[in-house]
């Protein structure tokens, strides 16, 4: 929201001396930017201590210190198969001859189907041979939607009828890849898998399928809608606890300028954002860039 960006810019543009009141205002501002209250408080305490140590006394000068703290929050060792948020240039390097499966998880409406198509186009343009698996067999429109993307982009889509078994769709897509048609399967999955038990069961089944088709690598990426704010973190907690995620894709960043949830994902769940999506065109997906995210969040761009 423009309101948040304006506020943070105004805050850090101030030459006024830093005092307790200003730090309190910053805590409130971070919460408004989708930080959790405890995280906002902790971050401001760290900032306060560093400013004191370095004898920094204006809000403007304090911004550089905040940038340093937030950048540090986004740099952590890569989760298995994924990338660290600090250096995630391409999400995953698809190696010729090695079969990779990417499962896109998330609740309905976050942008999974759109993101599956965007990723397939991106990896195809980078030289790999993706196959799209229409494994969201639950939502009536999802299979047709993905097939349409296939027609538009020329990328093969493996689909069954609506209501079918999503693991079976992924099985067929992997088999097609193994038979020589591809080296990457990007699977759209059903958004209904929101309860932990159903999610675990479905994913276990898919895991078994992937194992049986000996994909070299399987990445579970959670798609989150940036406009849902703190609710995105709740979704991430549920999915991560259930199936152990490898990373996150944050969509609809064109609709919100808030970004605090990215820091919560990193700090409280150790989850990296791999890509951000900022529109509905195929090219509107970008590897996550921690430095520019921090700059944007702190009003530096």
Positions that interact with ligand GDP (CB under 6 A)? 106, 108-114, 142, 191, 251-252, 254-255, 277-280, 284
66 versus 185: smaller Cβ distance to ligand GDP? 185
Distance CA 249, CA 201 (A): 23
Distance CA 63, CA 206 (A): 46
Tell me the Cα Rg of the chain. Answer: 21
Nearest distance in Å: CB 221, ligand GDP: 12
Nearest distance in Å: CB 75, ligand GDP: 25
253 versus 298: smaller Cβ distance to ligand GDP? 253
Shortest Cβ contact with ligand GDP: which residue?
111
42 versus 164: smaller Cβ distance to ligand GDP? 164
Could you tell me which of 258, 283, 289, 203 has the C-alpha nearest to residue 36? 258
225 versus 246: smaller Cβ distance to ligand GDP? 225
49 versus 234: smaller Cβ distance to ligand GDP? 234
Which stretches of 103-165 are DSSP H helices?
A: 112-125, 140-153
Distance CA 259, CA 4 (A): 10
Nearest distance in Å: CB 34, ligand GDP: 17
Please compute, for residue 15, the number of CA atoms within 13 A of its CA located in the half-sphere on the CB side.
Answer: 0
Nearest distance in Å: CB 90, ligand GDP: 18
Could you tell me which of 282, 287, 10 has the C-alpha nearest to residue 150? 282
Distance CA 145, CA 33 (A): 33
Nearest distance in Å: CB 17, ligand GDP: 41
Could you tell me which of 24, 27, 22, 52 has the C-alpha nearest to residue 39? 27
Nearest distance in Å: CB 232, ligand GDP: 13
11 versus 297: smaller Cβ distance to ligand GDP? 297
Could you tell me which of 35, 11, 5 has the C-alpha nearest to residue 23? 11
């Amino acid at each position: 929201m423009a309101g948040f960006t304006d506020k943070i810019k105004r805050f850090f543009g101030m030459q006024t001396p830093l005092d307790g009141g200003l730090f309190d205002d910053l805590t409130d501002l971070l919460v408004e930017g989708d930080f959790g209250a405890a995280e906002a408080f902790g971050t401001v305490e760290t900032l306060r201590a560093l400013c004191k140590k370095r004898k920094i006394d204006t809000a403007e000068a304090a911004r550089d210190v905040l940038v340093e703290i937030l950048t540090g929050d986004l740099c952590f060792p890569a989760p298995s198969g994924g990338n660290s948020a600090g250096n995630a240039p391409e999400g995953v390097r698809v190696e010729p001859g090695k079969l990779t499966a990417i499962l896109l998880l998330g609740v309905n409406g976050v942008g999974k189907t759109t993101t599956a198509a965007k990723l397939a186009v991106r990896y195809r343009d980078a030289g790999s041979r993706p196959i799209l698996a229409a494994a969201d067999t639950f939502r009536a429109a999802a299979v047709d939607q993905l097939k349409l993307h296939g027609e538009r982009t020329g990328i093969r889509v493996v689909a069954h009828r609506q209501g079918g078994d999503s693991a079976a769709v992924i099985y067929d897509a992997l088999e097609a890849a193994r038979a020589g048609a591809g080296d990457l399967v990007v699977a759209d999955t059903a958004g209904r898998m929101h309860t932990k038990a159903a999610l675990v069961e479905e994913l276990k089944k898919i895991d078994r399928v992937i194992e049986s088709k000996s994909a070299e690598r399987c990445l579970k990426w959670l798609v989150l809608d940036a406009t849902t704010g703190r609710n995105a973190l709740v979704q991430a907690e549920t999915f991560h606890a259930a199936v152990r995620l490898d990373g996150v894709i944050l969509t609809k960043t064109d609709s919100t300028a808030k970004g605090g949830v990215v820091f919560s994902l990193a700090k409280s769940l150790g989850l990296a954002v791999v890509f951000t999506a900022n529109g509905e065109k195929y090219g509107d997906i970008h590897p996550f860039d921690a430095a520019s995210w921090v700059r944007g969040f702190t009003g530096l761009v």
